[in-house]
Amino acid sequence: MLILLAPMEGLLDAPLRDILTRAGGVDRCVSEFIRVTDTVLPERAFRRVMPELGNAGRTQAGVPVRGQLLGSDPERLAANAARLAEMGSPGVDLNFGCPAKVVNRHGGGAALLQDPEHVHRIVRAVRQAVPAGTVVSAKMRLGFDDDRHAEDNARAIEAAGASELVVHGRTKAHGYRPPAYWARIAQVREAVRIPVVANGEIWSVADARRCLSESGCSALMLGRGMVADPGLALAIRAELGAPPCPGDAGRTWADWDALQPLVHRYWRLIQGRAEPRHQAGRLKQWLNFLRRRHPQAELAYQGVRTLNDPRLVTTWLNQHVNAGPACPDNHA
Q: What is the pLDDT along the chain (332 residues), one digit of tens a residue?
A: 899 999 999 999 999 999 999 999 999 999 999 999 999 999 999 999 999 999 999 999 999 999 999 999 999 999 999 999 999 999 999 999 999 988 998 889 999 999 999 999 999 999 999 999 999 999 999 999 999 999 999 999 999 999 999 999 999 999 999 999 999 999 999 999 999 999 999 999 999 999 999 999 999 999 999 999 999 999 999 999 888 887 776 666 768 888 999 999 999 999 999 999 999 999 999 999 999 999 899 999 999 999 999 999 999 999 999 987 755 554 44
Q: Provide the total of helices (H) and of strands (E) in the chain, helices listed first.
A: 14, 8
Q: Are residues 306 and 222 in the same domain?
A: no
Nearest Cα neighbor of 93 from 60, 121, 127, 48 is 127
Q: Are residues 264 and 145 in the same domain?
A: no
How many domains does the chain divide into?
2
What is the rounded distance in angstroms from the CA atom of residue 50 to the CA atom of residue 30?
9
CATH code (residue 10): 3.20.20.70
What is the rounded distance in angstroms from the CA atom of residue 123 to the CA atom of residue 195?
16
Q: Which residues are known catalytic residues? A: 98
Nearest Cα neighbor of 230 from 172, 301, 278, 289 is 289
Nearest Cα neighbor of 1 from 184, 157, 222 is 222
CATH code (residue 263): 1.20.225
Sequence-separated (6 or more) residues with CB below 8 Å from residue 146: 171, 173
Q: Are residues 207 and 270 in the same domain?
A: no
Q: Are residues 204 and 289 in the same domain?
A: no
Query: pTM, whole model, 2 decimals?
Result: 0.94
Nearest Cα neighbor of 295 from 254, 235, 239 is 254
Q: 313, 304 in Cβ contact below 8 A? A: yes
Task: Find the domain containing 58 and state its range.
Answer: 2-240
What is the rounded distance in angstroms from the CA atom of residue 266 to the CA atom of residue 55?
18
Beta strands in the chain (DSSP E): 2-5, 28-35, 65-70, 92-96, 136-143, 164-171, 196-199, 219-222
Peptide bond into 116 cis (omega under 30): no
